[in-house]
Amino acid sequence: MVGRRIVVSALLLILAVLIEVTILAPLDFPGATPTLVLVVVVILAGQFGATTGAIAGFAGGFLIDIAPPAAGTIGITALLLTIVGYAAGRFAESDDRPWWSLAILAGLAAPLVILAGSALGGLLGDPRVRWDDVIFLMLTSAGYALALGLILGRPLRRLCRWIVPEAYPR
Amino acid sequence: MRDTRRSRIVLAILVLMSITLIVFDLRGGLTQPLRSVGETVLGSAERAMAGVVVPVRNLVDSLGGLGSADERIAALEQENAQLRAELDTAANDRARIEDLNALLGLVSTNEYTTVPAQVIAVGPAQGFAWTVTIDAGSRDGVERDMSVISGAGLVGRTIDVGPTTSTVLLIVDATSSVGGRLSGTSQIGIVSGTGRQDSLTMQLLDPLAVVDVGDVVVSFGSEGGRPYAPGIPIGVVAEMRGTEGQLTRSAILEPYVDISRLDIVGVVLRAPEGPPRSTLDPALTGVGGGG
């Protein structure tokens, strides 16, 4: 049962990372690249709780950090998505939330991750961070994450429920 | 109220692991094995993915072009007429260009021994890094620190090489710097990325250099042609910053390569045999330094 949960999470995260770098980033959306991985982490956390959310966040962030052509500091995305996964898990655990609340959560988390990533990058001396672009990146990423969350929320929930039925007692 | 204690412990462990990774990465080199694993494993997966994605992307591109075909034909006809007019003066120009090429060491890009490659993945914009993955790796003879070019000019250099994929740092990345030379006056400078895809800055070494808008900048070439082979066109001067004589004088360049539309590129395995830079002798050639 735990095995299935790990397999479905791992497959979804790997697929999300691959889609993000081979399809979404080359499409050159205005502003930020849609953060599919973050949306998947939030949805997984919403289905399986804070522990799985934190682990999925770490794994997804780590994959983004090392998947070519990544050139940033390894660990930054892992750190931020771990926190996002945990927070999303706690949020979904507290009581019955409608499915679209996770999409809104993703839409809030995406710009915060960009802000925190830029701040952390700046503190650690990354010469690439451009503060004049950060606001635009945050705004666009919020929109993309919200849209992806609304599109993927229900299908992924159904997929999780189908593969790991014991996670849903009701 | 499901086991919040356990999830908090897991959170703490993962946060500590992430911070450890960051520290190790900043120490330099310690996380290189992780990058190699990423390049090998995820690179291969990206390559497989691109096998499906790239044909679809090309199809979508060509479908998108159908609607604007009439416009394109009109534009091309106009260009054709213009080119025909220019052709009359071409014979004269060609002889001059050959002389100038020999003089200035501009080598046409097809004289380089290259390995062709397809761009299969791009770094997310929020990472601020301008990097792409190409589907050629050590099995194709690609090594770290080799120049990557396209038909238009210099694209970047390889920074990580896996068996079947490599990561390319583009010249517009903020951490990229290339030795550049103005082909008109042979002034040299350092061309750095700005982090924006449509501009580069060139820091001129000679504060008194005479630079005009429209001057062409080519790569100066590194020792042994690595990481940058000599004579590759980089871009044209679009704007000058600072006045003559000022210590920090820089030019804003417009790169030849359109970074957002990279598709097929070439990795320079070997620069041309002969030294592309012949010695300049004003008395012999009658060219007086361009002004």
Domain membership flag for residue B129: yes
* Cis geometry, peptide bond prior to residue B33 (ω within 30 degrees of 0): no
Asked if the ipTM is above 0.95, the reply is no
Specify the 3-state DSSP secondary structure of B121.
strand
Q: Which residues in chain B touch residue A61, judged by CB atoms under 8 angstroms apart?
A: 18
Domain membership flag for residue B239: yes
pLDDT tens readout for residues A100-138: 899 999 999 999 999 999 999 889 888 888 888 899 999
Q: Do B46 and A68 touch (CB under 8 A)?
A: yes
Q: Do B120 and A31 touch (CB under 8 A)?
A: no
The shortest C-alpha distance from B64 to chain A (Å) reads 13
Assign A98 a pLDDT band (cuts: 50, 70, 90). Answer: confident
**Residue pLDDT tens, chain B, 291 long:** 456 788 899 999 999 999 999 999 888 768 888 988 999 999 999 999 988 888 887 777 777 666 667 777 878 888 887 777 777 666 666 766 666 565 555 445 446 788 889 999 998 888 888 999 999 999 999 999 999 988 888 999 999 999 999 999 999 999 999 999 888 777 888 999 988 888 899 988 887 778 888 888 988 887 777 888 888 889 999 988 876 666 778 889 999 988 887 888 889 887 765 545 544 555 544 444 433
The DSSP annotation for A67-105 comes to STT--S-TTHHHHHHHHHHHHHHHHHHHS---THHHHHH
Domains of chain A (ranges, CATH numbers): 2-167 (1.10.1760.20)
What integer pLDDT is reported at residue B287 of this predicted model?
45
Tell me, what amino acid is at B210? V
Element (H, E) at B160: strand B154-161
Q: Which residues partner with B235 through β-bridges?
A: B217, B255
Residues, chain A = 170
Specify the 3-state DSSP secondary structure of A4.
helix
Alpha-helical (H) ranges within B141-281 are none
Q: Do B25 and A130 touch (CB under 8 A)?
A: no
Q: Do A69 and B175 touch (CB under 8 A)?
A: no
What integer pLDDT is reported at residue B290 of this predicted model?
39
The domain of B143 spans 110-270
Domain membership flag for residue B289: no
pLDDT tens readout for residues A39-59: 999 999 998 989 999 999 999
Q: Do B18 and A23 touch (CB under 8 A)?
A: no
Q: Which residue of B has its CA nearest to A31?
A: B125
Q: Do A22 and B19 touch (CB under 8 A)?
A: no
Q: Which residue of B has its CA nearest to A120?
A: B22
Domain membership flag for residue B225: yes
CATH number at residue B135: 2.40.10.340
Identify the sign of the CA torsion A23, A28, A29, A33.
positive
Q: Percent of chain A, pLDDT > 90?
A: 64
Q: Do A121 and B37 touch (CB under 8 A)?
A: no
Q: Which residues partner with B188 through β-bridges?
A: B181
Specify the 3-state DSSP secondary structure of B189.
strand
Q: Which residue of A has its CA nearest to B126?
A: A32
Q: Which residue of B has its CA nearest to A134?
A: B126
Query: Both tokens of residue B249?
Result: 């004088």
Tell me, what amino acid is at B71? E
Domain membership flag for residue B137: yes
The shortest C-alpha distance from A54 to chain B (Å) reads 6
Query: Between chain A and chain B, how many beta carbons pairs sit less than 8 Å apart?
Result: 184
| Maximal CA-CA distance, chain B | 88
Q: Do B4 and A49 touch (CB under 8 A)?
A: no
Query: Both tokens of residue B145?
Result: 């620190």
Residue A169: CA count within 13 A, CB half-sphere: 2
Domain membership flag for residue B15: no
Residue ranges with strand state E in B4-145: 113-122, 131-134
For the whole model, what pTM was predicted? 0.82
| Cβ B209 vs Cβ B241: under 8 Å | no
Q: Which of the two residues, B281 and A154, has the higher pLDDT score? A: A154
Compute the distance between CA of residue B103 and CA of residue B90 in angstroms, rounded to an integer.
19
Q: Do B124 and A67 touch (CB under 8 A)?
A: no
Question: Region A34-39: what's the mean pLDDT?
Answer: 95
**Cα distances (angstroms) measured from residue B1 to each of A50, A89, A94, B14, B74:** 11, 11, 7, 21, 68
Residue A124: CA count within 13 A, CB half-sphere: 21
What integer pLDDT is reported at residue B291 of this predicted model?
33
Q: Do A54 and B7 touch (CB under 8 A)?
A: yes
B266-277 as b/e: b if 16+ CB within 10 A = bbbbebbeeebb
Compute the distance between CA of residue B54 and CA of residue A22 in angstroms, rounded to an integer.
9
**Count of other CB atoms within 10 angstroms of residue B157:** 24
- Classify residue B13 as exposed, middle or buried by CB count within 10 Å of its CB (0-12, 13-18, 19+): middle
What integer pLDDT is reported at residue A170 of this predicted model?
46
Task: Name the residue facing B49 among A22, A57, A82 (closest C-beta).
Answer: A22
Task: Name the residue facing A79 among B6, B15, B129 (closest C-beta).
Answer: B15
DSSP state of A34: P
Domain membership flag for residue B285: no
Task: Tally the domains of chain B.
Answer: 1
Domain membership flag for residue B131: yes
- Substitution target from A11, A14, A66 for chain B, most B beta carbons within 10 A: A66
